[in-house]
Amino acid sequence: MADFPTSIPSFTSPVNTDYLNSPAHATQHSSVNDETVAIATKLGTGASTAAANQVLRGTGTGTSAFGAITNDDLPTITTAGKISGAALTLLANIPAGAGAIPAANLTNATTNVKVGSFTRDTSAASGDQAITGVGFTPKAVIFLATVASNPQMSVGVDDGTDKGCLYDQNQVSAGTWNNTTSSSLYLTEGGTTTYAGVISALGADGFTVTWTKGAGAKTGTATIVYLAIG
């Protein structure tokens, strides 16, 4: 009976002065035969050949093959705390089919946030405004914008692709607000006297706002407070 795979086999190695009965020659052969079969059974049958970046894995009952790890080999992680801390840095490029990671496993993940502000002269022509000093590439930005001493204000969100905001349109209709999904920044004095902005680029140290000035004679300096999330 084979020792493997329960334990590592142990043999008495004969020397050239030993007789065939000590250690018993037939027993030696029988033991080697049993252990060889046990190893072969453990590995399984299959004609594949090892190659770079491949692993040996089971392909069925009693069979195995060398092959590359695919998305389907990575199951859903269900144990909280199984991945945490520095190990999360290895998960930057998780394949789409790798399965879900429970939120409990991400308790030590780092989220970058930055609160800042900038201004914009709303009488200026349409154009780009680069906002730097964020310190990371934002994934989304929340904006609060207003023109001092003037009923103009907007609250918006923008991820560089999708955006939207709520804006005060008091000068259009007293005491009312409106919304748009075309801009994340929107200040209006009524009619075409408007100033709208969207994020047109996200960069390693901030973002770029592209402003569009309406046809009307817009005036006033807008102060924009932002929360960048990365």
Model pTM greater than 0.95?
A: no
The pLDDT of residue 167 is 96
Domains along the chain? 1-69 (no CATH), 71-106 (no CATH), 113-229 (2.60.40)
| 33-79 pLDDT tens trace | 877 877 778 778 888 888 888 888 888 888 888 888 776 666 665 56
Residue-by-residue pLDDT tens, the chain, 230 positions: 777 678 887 777 777 777 777 777 777 777 778 778 777 787 788 888 888 888 888 888 888 888 887 766 666 655 655 555 555 555 555 555 555 666 666 555 567 999 999 999 999 999 999 999 999 999 999 999 999 888 899 999 999 999 999 999 988 888 899 999 999 999 999 889 999 999 999 999 999 999 999 999 999 999 999 999 99
DSSP codes joined into one string, the chain: ---TTTS--------TT-BTBBTBHHHHHHHHHHHHHHHHHHH-B------TT-EEEEEETTEEEEE---GGGSPPP-STTSS-GGGGGGGTT--TTS----GGGGTT----EEEEEEEEETTSPSEEEEEE---S--SEEEEEEEETTTTEEEEEEE-SSSEEEEEE-TTTSTT-EEEESS-SEEEESSTT-EEEEEEEEEETTEEEEEEEE-SS---SEEEEEEEEE-
The pLDDT of residue 82 is 57
